[in-house]
C-alpha cells in the first residue's frame, strides 16, 4: 500500500463517528491507528506476528505487569524528562530531581511524626538509618511536610505484592518536625528484578536486556504551597546503580552510604549488628 491509501483508510475508520466524541481521546486513538497501519505496512508485519503481539498484551494485563513494562521501555522516564522540560520553560525548575514512581506504591501507610521505624523486625539484612530535611529552594526548612517512603526488603520484594510480609512493612508517611527534619530506621533494600517467568522479562529477553533495578528507596514529598516531588534515591554500592532497567537513576539521587561496624557506634545507635547511614535533603520548588 502507498502512504496515501493508508491515510485514506485511517480517515475512513475515523469517519465512522455517529455521535459526540471525546475529541482528545478520538485524536489520540486516530493517531495511534494511523501510526500502527504505517508500521504494519512498512515493517511488513505478518498476521502471525500481529496476533502474537495481541496475546502478549493480553498476558501482560492478566499478569498485572503493564506498570512494569512501561518503565522497562523507558516510557515512564520519558514522561519525567518532558515534565522537567515544561518546568524549565516555565521557570519553575530547581529542587531535587524527580524520578519515576514505578508500580509498587500502596496508599494508606501509617503516619508518624518526625521519625519512624519502617521494618517489622523480621528482616536480618543490614540495618539502615536515614535522615535529612525537607527544604525550600532558598534553603529554609519546610515543617509539617509529608515524606511518604516505600522500599523493598533485603530480598528485593515489596510488602503487599509479597504476601509473606506484614501489612505496610517498609512503608510509612513521616511528617517533618519544626526544623523540617525526618528520620527513620529500616533495613537496607536489595535491588528488584522483574518476575523471571513474567511477560515483562519475556520481552526484555527478546530485546537482549536484563530486568534488574539497583537497590533504591522511593519517596513522595509534599507540603501545601510546594510542588509534590516523586523521587527515589539509589544505593551507591549496587552494581546496577548506573544500569537500571527502568532508567530511573539520576545525578543528585545517589547519596553517600556509610557502613558502621565499630562496637561503640553500634552501642550509640542502640543496635546489635552493623548498620548503614544515609543523609539526604529534599528540596521542593514552590507550586
Ligand atoms: C520497582 O521497584 C520499581 O521501582 C520500578 C520502577 C519498576 C519495578 C520495580
Ligand atoms: Fe521500586
DSSP class of 188: -
Q: pLDDT (tens digit, 9 = 90+) per residue, 257-283? A: 999 999 999 999 999 999 999 999 999
pLDDT band at 254 (very low <50, low <70, confident <90, very high): very high
∠ CA 176-284-70, rounded to 5°: 105
CA 190 vs CA 38, 198, 212, 225: distances in Å: 43, 20, 11, 34
Helix H or strand E segment including 28: helix 23-42
N residues, the chain: 287
> Would you say the C-alpha torsion 266, 132, 102, 145 has a positive or negative sign?
positive
Ramachandran category for residue 143: left, alpha or beta (phi over 0 → left; psi -120 to 50 → alpha): beta
Residue 93, pLDDT > 90, answer no
Query: What ipTM was reported for this prediction?
Result: 0.97
Mutate which of 60, 64, 68 to test ligand 1's pocket (most atoms within 8 Å of Cβ)?
68
Atom 4 in ligand 1: residue holding the nearest Cα? 102
∠ CA 10-13-18, rounded to 5°: 145
Task: Choose which CATH entry (2.60.120.380, 3.40.50.720, 1.10.10.10, 2.60.130.10) describes domain 92-284.
Answer: 2.60.130.10
Mutate which of 192, 200, 241 to test ligand 1's pocket (most atoms within 8 Å of Cβ)?
192
- Provide the CB-side half-sphere exposure for 207 (13 A, CA): 13
Closest C-alpha among 142, 211, 128, 199 to residue 176: 142
189 with 120: CB under 8 angstroms?
no
Q: Residue 68: CB within 6 Å of ligand 1?
A: yes
Rounded to 5 degrees, φ, ψ at 40 are -60, -40
Q: Percentages helix, strand, coil for the chain, rounded to the nearest 5?
A: 30, 25, 50
Q: pLDDT (tens digit, 9 = 90+) per residue, 199-243? A: 999 999 999 999 999 999 999 999 999 999 999 999 999 999 999
Domain spans of the chain, in order of start: 3-72, 92-284
Ramachandran category for residue 232: left, alpha or beta (phi over 0 → left; psi -120 to 50 → alpha): beta
Q: pLDDT (tens digit, 9 = 90+) per residue, 236-250? A: 999 999 999 999 999
Rounded to 5 degrees, φ, ψ at 151 are -160, 170
Strand partners, 126: none
| Gap from CA of 103 to ligand 1 centroid (Å) | 6
Question: In the numeric block, which cell numbers belong to residue 46?
Answer: 505478518
**CA-248 nearest atom, ligand 1:** 6
Which pLDDT does position 137 carry in this prediction?
96
Residue 78, pLDDT > 90, answer yes
Amino acid at each position: 500500500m502507498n502512504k496515501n491509501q493508508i491515510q485514506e483508510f485511517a480517515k475512513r475508520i475515523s469517519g465512522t463517528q455517529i455521535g459526540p466524541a471525546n475529541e482528545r481521546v478520538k485524536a489520540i486513538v486516530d493517531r495511534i491507528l494511523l501510526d500502527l497501519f504505517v508500521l504494519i505496512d512498512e515493517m511488513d508485519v505478518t498476521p502471525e506476528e500481529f496476533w502474537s503481539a495481541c496475546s502478549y498484551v493480553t498476558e501482560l494485563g492478566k499478569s498485572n505487569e503493564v506498570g512494569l513494562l512501561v518503565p522497562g521501555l523507558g516510557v515512564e522516564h520519558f514522561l519525567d524528562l518532558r515534565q522537567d522540560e515544561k518546568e524549565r520553560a516555565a521557570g519553575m525548575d530547581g529542587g531535587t530531581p524527580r524520578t519515576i514512581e514505578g508500580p509498587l506504591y500502596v496508599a494508606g501507610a501509617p503516619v508518624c511524626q518526625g521519625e519512624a521505624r519502617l521494618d517489622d523486625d523480621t528482616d536480618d539484612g543490614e540495618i539502615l538509618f536515614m535522615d535529612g530535611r525537607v527544604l525550600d529552594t532558598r534553603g529554609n526548612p519546610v515543617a509539617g511536610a509529608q515524606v511518604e517512603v516505600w522500599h523493598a526488603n533485603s530480598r528485593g520484594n515489596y510488602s503487599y505484592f509479597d504476601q509473606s510480609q506484614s501489612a505496610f512493612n517498609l512503608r510509612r508517611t513521616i511528617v517533618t518536625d519544626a526544623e523540617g527534619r525526618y528520620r527513620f530506621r529500616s533495613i537496607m533494600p536489595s535491588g528488584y528484578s522483574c518476575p523471571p517467568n513474567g511477560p515483562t522479562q519475556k520481552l526484555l529477553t527478546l530485546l537482549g536486556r536484563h530486568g534488574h533495578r539497583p537497590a533504591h528507596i522511593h519517596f513522595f514529598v509534599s507540603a501545601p504551597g510546594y510542588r509534590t516531588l516523586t523521587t527515589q534515591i539509589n544505593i551507591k554500592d549496587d552494581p546496577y546503580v548506573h544500569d537500571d532497567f527502568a532508567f530511573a537513576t539520576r545525578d543528585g539521587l545517589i547519596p553517600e552510604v556509610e557502613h558502621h561496624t565499630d562496637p561503640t557506634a553500634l552501642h550509640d545507635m542502640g543496635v546489635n549488628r552493623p548498620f548503614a547511614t544515609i543523609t539526604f535533603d529534599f528540596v521542593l520548588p514552590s507550586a
